[in-house]
Amino acid sequence: MKLILAVLLLGVLFAFSSASVYSQTRPMELPLYEGPVPNEVAGKNEEQLEVRPNKSQSITRVRTPTLTVFLPAQGKANGTAVVICPGGGYAKLAFSHEGTDVARKFAEQGVAAFVLKYRLPDATVSSKPEVAPLQDAQRALLVVRQRAKEWGVNPERVGIMGFSAGGHLASTAGTHFTQAQVANPQNLSVKPDFMLLLYPVISGDSAMSHKGSFSNLLGKKPTAEKLREYSNERQVTAQTPPAFLVHASDDKTVPVHNSLVFYQALLQHNIPAELHLYQRGGHGFGLNNKTTKDDWFASCLHWLDSNSLLGGTRK
């Protein structure tokens, strides 16, 4: 009898411990893959974390992708989830500024947020370097849907967000979802339910492209076919998920035309979309465009709510 009671007590304690872990906003970093990383090229782990004087974090040479989980406090979750792809020109990840800082903000608002530390295109890490970031984005969407019940997530409200080159990755996930690039035995959807794109790299058109991002992703002399394939304004269809976009008109790094052409493509296919353009702000402002009192994050929440993506009624 004592043994049975002890086992029951241990079970209760374990359940309580698990519930405590999954109902707090303290992040948990998890391996993205349970087994081998797809197309992995064997080699030494040379990942580097740089912490700047302002405490911002930047990561390079990612070999082992991870998902850092930020869950809302118990009783606050609304069931919506977002996978966040930091930017960095496909050369690095602005992991705090365009990742964990944003995830905390979402968790405070009841949205489960997952920061993706994705592999950057690197032939010493992956035998298919141009596909590696998309594989990791698709895998992240699958993991969130697989563990949706455990994390208090509605598997039909799992979106993707990206900043700069991370915006290119997010828009690639939102336009290249007809074929899974990773193992998917449960045949779950790899299509995000919505896209949130901040000053995104979109087009390979030389008149507006961020050449560094495309060079890092596709090589210095990509074919016209490859440029077209990864020019995501050309890949929009009637099945593309809704999108919320933010850009500054004076962005000298990733011209505002990237967001404009993507927005136009969405309109042409009758995809719900909202575009916020700032007169100033430059590139890489993250959560805070210091040139304006306007709060794009609040507008983003309003857009999600108006499209019934926060669990409310469509307005």
CA–CA separation, 192 and 190 (whole Å) = 6
Lowest-confidence region among 12-26, 35-49, 189-203: 12-26
Instruction: Give the residue-averaged pLDDT of 184-213.
Output: 97
Give the number of other CB atoms < 10 A from CB of residue 75. 8
Q: What percent of the chain has pLDDT over 70?
A: 91
Burial 101-119 (b: 16+ CB within 10 A, else e): bbbbbbbebbbbbbbbbbb
Question: At 4, is the pLDDT very low, low, confident or very high (cuts 50, 70, 90)?
Answer: very low
Residue ranges and CATH numbers for the domains of the chain are 29-35+46-306 (3.40.50.1820)
Instruction: Give the residue-averaged pLDDT of 55-81.
Output: 96
CA–CA separation, 116 and 12 (whole Å) = 32
Is pLDDT at 114 greater than 60 in this prediction? yes
What pLDDT was estimated at residue 157? 98
Assess contact for 74 and 131: CB atoms under 8 A. no
Quickly list DSSP for the chain.
-HHHHHHHHHHHHHHHHHHHHTTSSS-EEEES-SSPPTTBPP-----EEEE-TTS-EEEES--S-EEEEE-PPTTT--S-EEEEE--STTT-B-TIIIIIHHHHHHHHTT-EEEEEEPPPS-TTTBSSTTTHHHHHHHHHHHHHHHTHHHHT--TTSEEEEEETHHHHHHHHHTTS-SS-SS--TT----S-S-EEEES------TTT--HHHHHHHH-SS--HHHHHHT-GGGS--TTPPPEEEEEETT-SSS-THHHHHHHHHHHHTT--EEEEEESS--S--TT--TT-S--HHHHHHHHHHHTT-SSS---
Is pLDDT at 187 greater than 60 in this prediction? yes
Tokens representing 241 are: 């998920």
Tokens representing 150 are: 């455990």
Question: At 74, is the pLDDT very low, low, confident or very high (cuts 50, 70, 90)?
Answer: confident
What pLDDT was estimated at residue 311? 79
Assess contact for 80 and 111: CB atoms under 8 A. yes
Is pLDDT at 314 greater than 60 in this prediction? no
Backbone angles phi, psi at 60, to 5 degrees: -130, 170
Helix orientation angle between 211-218 and 165-173, rounded to the nearest 10 degrees: 60
- Residue-wise pLDDT tens digits, 262-310: 999 999 999 999 999 999 999 999 999 999 999 999 999 999 999 999 9
Instruction: Give the residue-averaged pLDDT of 12-27.
Output: 48
Is pLDDT at 159 greater than 50 in this prediction? yes
Is pLDDT at 127 greater than 60 in this prediction? yes
Instruction: Give the residue-averaged pLDDT of 62-69.
Output: 98
Residues in Cβ contact with 37 at an 8 Å cutoff, skipping those fewer than 6 apart: 63, 64, 65, 119, 126
Tokens representing 244 are: 């919320």
Tokens representing 123 are: 């032939």
Assess contact for 234 and 269: CB atoms under 8 A. no
Assess contact for 163 and 190: CB atoms under 8 A. no
- pTM attached to this predicted model: 0.92
Assess contact for 212 and 200: CB atoms under 8 A. no
